[in-house]
Amino acid sequence: MTIEEQIDAMGLSEGELLRQMPPRLAEIARLIGVRPAIALSCHFGGSYVYIPGTLTETCSLVKAVGMGPATVLADFFGRGFSQNILVPVFFKTSMASRLQGIRLLKEGNSIGEVARQVGVARNTVSSWKRTYLEEAA
């Protein structure tokens, strides 16, 4: 499943996703869009990403988010110079596990059933329910 498909499977609007992001990632999302920001976090979250002064199709940033969003980041953060930026982590558990859990909750499964099927603690599923389903309503 691609990152795009995983985001779509979550069933949340871009505004809802933006509100769940750490402040620094939300700032990046406002620059390049929610989906490219999530892709950036999935690829580089918790570490630095190198933004070269000149972007090429082979650079890791372009491969992760595409040339358009990478150019916006390079213009904003680098202004023509190479730069390293720290990319915040959006999801602490794997995105696939979280998405599966949210989908199961939306289907009406209990917290205990979801925890067993996904392989996480009940508290984690309760947190997903509060964060992604109750606040989104």
Contact 31, 73 (CB under 8 A): yes
Pair (17, 59) in one structural domain? yes
Q: pLDDT higher for 78 or 86?
A: 86
Six token digits for residue 109: 């499964």
Pair (67, 125) in one structural domain? no
For residue range 122-131, what is the model confidence (pLDDT) as tens digits?
Answer: 888 999 999 8
Pair (82, 118) in one structural domain? no
Instruction: Read off the pLDDT of each residue in 24-45 and give the average, rounded to a whole number.
Output: 92
Pair (82, 107) in one structural domain? no
Average pLDDT across the chain, whole number: 86
Pair (82, 99) in one structural domain? no
How high is the pLDDT of residue 137? 54
Torsions phi, psi for 80 (to 5 deg): 90, -5
Contact 105, 128 (CB under 8 A): yes
**Confidence class of residue 16 from pLDDT cuts 50, 70 and 90?**
confident
Helix (H, G, I), strand (E, B) or coil at 59: coil
Which domain covers residue 76, as residue numbers?
Answer: 3-86
Torsions phi, psi for 15 (to 5 deg): -65, -40
For residue range 86-135, what is the model confidence (pLDDT) as tens digits?
Answer: 898 886 667 778 888 999 999 999 998 998 888 777 888 999 999 888 86
How high is the pLDDT of residue 78? 78
Q: d(Cα 41, Cα 52) in Å, to the nearest integer?
A: 18
C-alpha dihedral sign at 12, 98, 23, 43: negative
Residue among 35, 71, 34 at smallest CA distance from 51: 71
The total of structural domains in the chain comes to: 2
Pair (74, 8) in one structural domain? yes
C-alpha dihedral sign at 135, 133, 14, 44: positive
How high is the pLDDT of residue 4? 75
Q: d(Cα 10, Cα 2) in Å, to the nearest integer?
A: 13
The separation between the first and the last C-alpha atoms of the chain, rounded to the nearest angstrom, is 26
